[in-house]
Amino acid sequence: MAEKGKKDELTWMHVIVRVFLNSTTHPIEYAKVLIQEMVPGETPGLAINPRNQKFKKKCFARGSVFYFSKFFFGYIAHIKKRDGFLGCYRGLTPKLAANIVSGVAFQRVTENIQFKELDGEVNIEELNMKQRTQRFLQNTARESAGRAAAIFVSQPFHVIAVRSMAEFVGEDGQYVGVFTSVGVIYREQGVKGFFCGLIPRLLCDLAALWLGKTLAHVINNYLVEDKDLKQYVSASMNFLASALTYPLQVVSNCMAVSGSGLVAGSPPNMPIYDGWIDCYRHLKQIRGLKRGSSMLWRAYTGPTIMLGGSPAIATNSMFAAPASS
């Protein structure tokens, strides 16, 4: 009983820390969501034109497609100017609800998954390679189940949070509270509306988990012997895996808004996608899969024109002279 009480205490302490951190960094996350959902440079008042030609030549000597700018902070400043300080925390309540629900679900699921062999506290250095691999697979499988459960139960709150933030674009005023938002989604889209963007979000999280841990396992057991260095390897591989799977996060947030009836999720701001694969293909075509991936670097997609009521990346083929007869 004492051990169970201690675990419950640690669980709630972890949840409290997550709530605090998410509350503190919410304005940054808010700006990130807006950047992910909209074509960069097309939002009134938020376009940033890089004019420092000397800096551009220095940074883009190798053909980089990124412009250095105060893009994140430009969004936050614009939000604060229009909606005030409290406006920077739009969508915080459902976001915190999602974090609390996901944290508790993850803890409960992982606690109830037990393996007969190599579970609990063991000295990794005393295990042979086969046993290390077995333990790695067990722990990663358990964490995968916990994360999948956490994402599934928290998705409705995540959808509400993303849509609440997306309302900044058109000032729709529909998602003014959690209970009101639940009614709006159920009335307009039914139960499936609460799980928009679920599949790419699941794929993003689980792919990042397995990729990061697999790379760390291989490098730490076959290439690196220093114990201190192994800790840095794990952190680096997790960061790399998150970067590689980031496009799926963009797709997930776009799918949470597309077709919702909000101005941000309707043409010309965003197409109505047939599914998340259609969304991925479109974002790849307009080079939008890295939106919001960096606080300091803005992905440059080239000149944008309106084509059929929707923004599109201008290409040479659009302006090619017709063939002579």
Alpha helices for 25-70 (secondary structure H)? 26-37, 53-59
The reported pLDDT for the residue numbered 287 is: 86
Tell me the C-alpha distance between 63 and 57, whole Å: 10
Beta-strand runs (E) in the chain: 66-68, 297-299, 304-307, 310-313
Task: Provide the CATH number for the domain around residue 129.
Answer: 1.50.40.10
Token pair 């376009």 is found at 47
Residue 187 belongs to domain spanning: 2-195+258-316
| Residue 225 forms part of a structural domain | no
| Residue 220 forms part of a structural domain | no
The reported pLDDT for the residue numbered 54 is: 44
| Residue 221 forms part of a structural domain | no
> What is the three-class DSSP state of 37?
helix
The reported pLDDT for the residue numbered 195 is: 96
The reported pLDDT for the residue numbered 312 is: 54
- Which long-range contacts (C-beta less than 8 Å, at least 24 apart) are formed by 293-298? 293/243, 293/246, 294/66, 295/28, 295/71, 295/72, 295/73, 296/68, 296/69, 296/71, 296/72, 297/66, 297/67, 297/68, 297/69, 298/40, 298/48, 298/66, 298/67, 298/68, 298/69, 298/71
| Residue 235 forms part of a structural domain | no
The reported pLDDT for the residue numbered 290 is: 87
Compute the CA torsion angle 73, 65, 288, 92 (nearest 10 deg). Answer: -20
Token pair 């000597």 is found at 61
Q: pTM of the predicted model, to two decimals? A: 0.79
| Residue 290 forms part of a structural domain | yes
| Residue 249 forms part of a structural domain | no
Tell me the C-alpha distance between 30 and 72, whole Å: 10
Chain CA centroid to CA 213, Å: 19
The reported pLDDT for the residue numbered 119 is: 65
| Residue 325 forms part of a structural domain | no
| Residue 67 forms part of a structural domain | yes
CA-based nearest residue to 37, from 263, 200, 243? 263
Chain CA centroid to CA 171, Å: 23
What average pLDDT values come out for the chain (325 residues) when binned by 10 residues?
56 74 87 75 39 41 38 77 89 92 91 76 75 89 96 97 91 88 93 95 97 93 82 90 95 94 88 94 90 64 53 51 48
Q: How many CA atoms lie within 13 A of 325 on its CB side?
A: 0
Please report, as a single letter, which amino acid is at residue 26.
H
Burial class from Cβ neighbours inside 10 Å (0-12, 13-18, 19+) for residue 36 reads: buried
Length of the chain: 325
Instruction: Specify the number of domains making up the chain.
Output: 1
Tell me the C-alpha distance between 174 and 182, whole Å: 10
